[in-house]
Amino acid sequence: MTDQPGPRRELERIRESAGPGAAHSRIALGSGPLPDRLRAAILALASARGEDSSTCPSDAARALTDEWRPLLPRARELARELARAGEVRLTQRGRSLDPDEEWAGPIRIRLPERAHG
């Protein structure tokens, strides 16, 4: 495990826990294509943080490389794609975002709301 705190260490803990997001964290920390790893990092972080918390696209990018800023636009686009597929929900300042609308500024990635009943 890395000695540095942050998203990479969080992915390593998720992988070792074998709990929510573990399978995705194994992909994210693997050697596959970068877009697949970035997508998996988003899903691993969102799954592990649960319904009551969120993650940022930059967390997923920072988990994969120290040179994360160039990955941020791709992470945001992958989050949009995952939201369209219903795998995550995007929020900004506490309100849900439509993945097909234009938006700017910081966003958060959350698990989709589940029907309770």
What is residue 51's predicted lDDT score, i.e. its pLDDT? 87
Please say if the pLDDT value at position 116 is more than 50. no
pLDDT digits (tens, 9 = 90+) for 22-78: 999 999 999 999 999 999 999 999 999 988 899 999 999 999 999 999 999 999 999
Asked if residues 57 and 75 have their Cβ atoms less than 8 Å apart, the reply is yes
pTM of the full structure: 0.91
Give CA angle at 92 (85, 105), nearest 5°: 100
Q: What 3-state DSSP class applies to 65?
A: coil
Rounded to an integer, the average pLDDT of 106-110 is 96
What is residue 2's predicted lDDT score, i.e. its pLDDT? 57
What is residue 114's predicted lDDT score, i.e. its pLDDT? 74
